[in-house]
Amino acid sequence: MFIKGEFEKARQYIEIHSAHDPDKKYEFYPCITISRETGAGSDIVSEKLIKFFDKYRRTEAPEWTIFDKNLIAKVLEDHHLPIHLQKFLIEDKFSEITSMINELLTGEPSARTMIKKEVQTIHQLCKTGNVIIIGRGANFITSKFKNSFHVRLVAPMEERIKRIEQLFNLSRKDAELYIRKDDIAKKSFVLTYFQQNVENPLLYHLVINTGDITHSEAAKIIGKAVIKRFSKVFPKDTLRELSIK
């Protein structure tokens, strides 16, 4: 059986729902945001969560789709922007002043302008629903949407180092350095644009330690919590089938 890549799935999701009548009323399908410590396994958990939901998705409902790095492509497409501007949409530390000067000199959008465009895109995705959005401060952007459900994935440093070593074929030292830099970049991104502490557990419906809970278990915990909260958009007998009360 042919399985579409995540990028292709994201493109297909965009094309299908961009073609819909803008005045059409969609059902209240869920939008899940996942904030994560580097190396906590957000990609694996998201993939397993997609497979979990596919078993219980109504035929007429949008296909569940993950937006992480492909969200950058979505923003660029939505706003007809050149591909080289993706550097402004990476969760990293950069000079806001340099970015603003560049906008004045070249006419190209600054980092802050790009973030505003990204917010519009995330709003559009959340309104359609059946999406998992990883990172990008999506939990803050969708905080007022009643169909949003926010998750934070954490893990002990040693566990994260092992995962990054394997994922990128790095030495232990380089893996730890990569994690520390990336964690700082994520915190800086959220603090700069949303004035929030990404580590605050009160900002999430669920905080899961993937050092103690497997990726499969984490996906099931999230999946069951979402189905219980938004049971009306899942098949009638789903709660009973999953023994959810």
**pLDDT classification of 14: cutoffs 50, 70, 90:** low
* pLDDT in the model for residue 95: 46
Residue that wins the pLDDT comparison between 1 and 100: 100
- Ramachandran category for residue 186: left, alpha or beta (phi over 0 → left; psi -120 to 50 → alpha): alpha
Q: What residue ranges do the domains of the chain occupy? A: 29-229
Kindly indicate the confidence band of residue 116, based on its pLDDT and cuts at 50, 70 and 90: confident
Average model confidence (pLDDT) across the chain: 80
- Distant-in-sequence, close-in-space partners of 186: CB < 8 Å, separation ≥ 6: 38, 91, 135, 198
pLDDT tens track for 182-192: 999 899 889 88
pLDDT digit string, tens, across residues 174-220: 999 999 999 998 998 898 888 999 999 999 999 999 999 999 999 99
Mean pLDDT for 62-74 is 78
DSSP secondary structure, 117-173, as one string: HHHHHHHHHHHH--EEEESTTHHHHTTT-TTEEEEEEE--HHHHHHHHHHHHT--HH
Confidence of residue 106 (pLDDT cuts 50, 70, 90): very low
- Residue-wise pLDDT tens digits, 84-103: 555 555 545 444 444 443 44
What average pLDDT score do residues 48-57 get?
92
Of the pLDDT bands very low, low, confident and very high (cuts 50, 70, 90), residue 154 is: very high
Percent of the chain topping pLDDT 70: 71
Class of 29-229 in CATH: alpha beta
Say how many Å lie between the first and final Cα of the chain, rounded: 35
Q: How confident is the model at residue 230 (pLDDT cuts 50, 70, 90)?
A: very high
SS3 call for 210: coil
Instruction: Name 245's Cβ contacts closer than 8 Å, sequence gap at least 6.
Output: 239
- Tokens 């569940």 -> residue: 64
Query: What confidence score (pLDDT) does residue 219 get?
Result: 96
pLDDT at residue 27 in the model: 53
pLDDT exceeds cutoff 90 at 81:
no
**DSSP assignment letter at 69:** T
Across 14-18, 34-38, 99-103, the highest mean pLDDT is recorded for 34-38
pLDDT classification of 52: cutoffs 50, 70, 90: very high
Angle between helices 111-128 and 96-106 (to 10 degrees): 100
